[in-house]
Amino acid sequence: MKAWPEAPVAARLRSERLSKANEIVKGLAAEFGYEYIDVNEGLADKDGRLRAELTVDGIHMWPERYEIVFENMRRYLTERQI
């Protein structure tokens, strides 16, 4: 699959914006008495970018890789017996 030429720039912006957005959501959850669930746990590399083996182009994940997100949600639901 040929990569989109702008993918590296878009991937960097995604990483920066996702982190900021998650921090805002985490703050809102705390402010209103909700628990924040980090469904993105395990998706990023040490530089905060989507791990290479999970992604097509640094932005979009391979469909089967969404299993990590599902497992993060499942763990939360199972622990709380929801």
Q: What is the pLDDT of residues 50-70, one digit of tens each?
A: 899 998 888 889 999 999 999
* The predicted structure's pLDDT at residue 43: 92
Helix residue ranges per DSSP H, 1-82: 7-31, 67-79
60 closest CA partner among 5, 19, 11: 11
* The predicted structure's pLDDT at residue 48: 83
Given a cut of 70, is residue 3 above it in pLDDT? no
Q: Show the tokens assigned to 20.
A: 């900021």
Q: What is the pLDDT of residues 20-42, one digit of tens each?
A: 898 999 999 999 999 999 898 99
Given a cut of 70, is residue 45 above it in pLDDT? yes
